[in-house]
Chain A
């Protein structure tokens, strides 16, 4: 298989490849960093809902103004907002809990988006939105990814102190003077932005993995909530870069490899964590 491929060095000499590698670092780190929040907030399902809901938004934007980077981003943002707020509205105004509402909302939204996109004759692009195409990233995409990553890391770092109390005791954080409502909105906005940035790398189906697995791995290794953020970022970036180099000679999809590598790292921590692994003597019965 590798005989008809240029060597890795030749491949890395291509700007496309270098951009893809840089994108792995940026997007991997930002998603890993934010995954700490997702894991501590126990909102993996919600993120899954949001990421699937990005598809109909993109479809709608493409239908209205044609396919550009910006229209796709704006559509994704709009859809995420709609589903996020919609699930809250549904669960508040009916007997259903939020999990159930989200389950219905995201599958319906996803199916609708799929139908629209298949009707639009841009079939070749569809796979990219579903599973990502990190190799096709342009300079603009990289700048967007960089800006979103920087914003996420700076905001979550600046808010770290109130954020940890909010995550630990969401219902009583207010009694410690934590601005709960502000944190709710700020973290929701950041989650959506980072999700959108990961769209291009891994697509909307696999993005949940990138936004949960890194911190979930660190969670099994430490008692320090702050370490989840930076540790998650590092694992996200390293895992993505490792996947990039692994996928090339094997001819695998980069996005799928990223998720498989992160999943494998999680499995290793799950089995071998000195503190909380399967074989740990300290594991509580």
Chain B
């Protein structure tokens, strides 16, 4: 499911820290869209946000957010605390009611029920003591496809197996979810998104709390997933690593400050505008 080699570094550099390997499984082309012009009938699936305004608990949390991106890209949401990063992710996941504006996925308004969009919670928000094994967590990803009662078939089991394999979790599948390292926990949730056959992965601070090797591993994984044609959107707070982990960046401070490829938009001027005076706030 995840292709090699990685684009960064010399050959084999990615293999150090248990980075997921999977040479046996090809991407399941009919489910996953393809970026870089290779998407289905010549177009990458597009996610478009138009003049978004969202209130969160009565407070205006986001306004004037407009951008468009597509499968095959990774986008970092950058901004100070309370800038609206999580609100934007939750809006994209269909968890919040929009005050104004629209979110279009593949040309259609997003209803929040699409199995093609997966939301991955912040690690701190997960109840790690829940009696759940890694495998059972990944199996949950089949729910949007199966509904309440349809039988869990061999086909579903195959997809779960592929997701576990791709995330290098096969040996850990019977572990309770708290008995994993931070990086493994992150991969378990990504595996669930893969089992869900999601095109878009929305991640809330995925790098937070991971040590250096685990961060590198996850970064490599991001590259694999985007090369496969998935769209990754993640809130991120470590400004030093933005360039290394992401293609595009959206600078937010309740409003959109800048959006574009990291090289063009992740500038000192834009950052100053995003973070200025927040220290005194």
Contacts and interface: CB of A to CB of B under 8 A. Distances in A.
Contacts of B131: 40, 219, 222-225, 227-228
A171 interface: yes
Contact of B121 (A159, A172, A222, A223): A172
Interface string A148-172: 0000000000110110110111011
A175 interface: yes
Nearest to A225: B131
A177 interface: yes
Given A175-B95, A284-B178, A161 B130 contact: no
Interface in A24-52: 40
Nearest to B140: A165
B140 A164 contact: yes
A169 B177 CA distance: 14
A171 B131 CA distance: 18
A225 B130 contact: yes
B11 interface: no
A224 B148 contact: no
Given A174-B95, A175-B117, A225 B126 contact: no
Contacts of B112: 174-175
Residue of A40, A165, A171, A174 with most chain B CB atoms under a 10 A cut-off: A174
Residue of A165, A168, A227 with most chain B CB atoms under a 10 A cut-off: A168
Contacts of A174: 94-95, 112
Nearest to A215: B131
Given A222-B131, A223-B176, A165 B143 contact: yes
A131 B132 CA distance: 36
Interface in A228-271: 228
Contact of B94 (A40, A164, A175): A175
Contacts of B113: 177
Interface residues of A, number: 25
A26 B149 CA distance: 26
Interface residues of B, number: 28
B30 interface: no
B94 A162 contact: no
Contacts of A219: 131
B132 A177 contact: no
Interface string A166-192: 011101101111100000000000000
B105 to A, nearest CB: 13
A174 B144 CA distance: 10
Given A158-B148, A158-B149, A162-B148, A177 B115 contact: yes
Contacts of A167: 130
Contacts of A178: 143
B127 interface: yes
Contacts of B100: none
B148 A159 contact: yes
B125 to A, nearest CB: 7
Interface in B17-65: none
B170 interface: no
7 contacts: A158-B148, A168-B132, A171-B125, A172-B93, A172-B95, A175-B117, A228-B131
Interface of B: 93-95, 112-113, 115, 117-119, 121, 125-127, 130-133, 136, 140, 143-144, 146, 148-149, 176, 178-179, 196
Interface of A: 40, 158-159, 161-162, 164-165, 167-169, 171-172, 174-178, 219, 222-225, 227-228, 284
